[in-house]
């Protein structure tokens, strides 16, 4: 058992695995999904009438104002708490 015999065995195993993969095909490189599929489905969306579009714009504007009022209220409360904490520390806290 010399060192050269071990290398020969490893090379023979590699060659054998390569031949087996060549015969049956390497599943790693086979594509499971065909490339002929479309990326998106074509849908024909119906257009809105002008009255529906105006109602949609009004609805979106109302939702946006509700969202802005909510954000202003939340951040205003947080700012008020922070400012009152700073005022307490500056004026009423004895150093």
**Spans of all domains in the chain:** 3-28+47-92
What confidence tens digit (pLDDT) does each residue in 41-77 have? 667 777 889 999 999 999 999 999 999 999 999 999 9
Please tell me whether residue 88 adopts helix, strand or coil conformation. Answer: helix
64-to-4, 60, 76 alpha-carbon distances in Å: 78, 6, 18
Q: What is the mean pLDDT of the chain?
A: 81
Total-model pTM: 0.44
Cα–Cα distance between 88 and 95 in angstroms, integer? 12
Q: Locate tokens 């023979």: which residue?
A: 12
Q: Are 56 and 48 in contact, with CB atoms under 8 Å apart?
A: yes
């Amino acid at each position: 058992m010399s060192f050269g015999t071990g290398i020969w065995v490893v090379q023979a195993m590699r060659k054998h695995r390569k031949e087996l993969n060549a015969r049956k095909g390497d599943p790693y490189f086979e594509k499971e999904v065909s490339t002929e599929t479309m990326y998106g489905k074509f849908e024909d969306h119906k257009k809105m009438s002008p009255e529906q579009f105006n109602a949609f714009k009004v609805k979106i504007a109302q939702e946006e104002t509700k969202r802005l009022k909510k954000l202003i209220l939340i951040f205003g409360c947080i700012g008020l708490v922070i400012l009152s904490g700073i005022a307490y520390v500056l004026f009423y806290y004895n150093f």
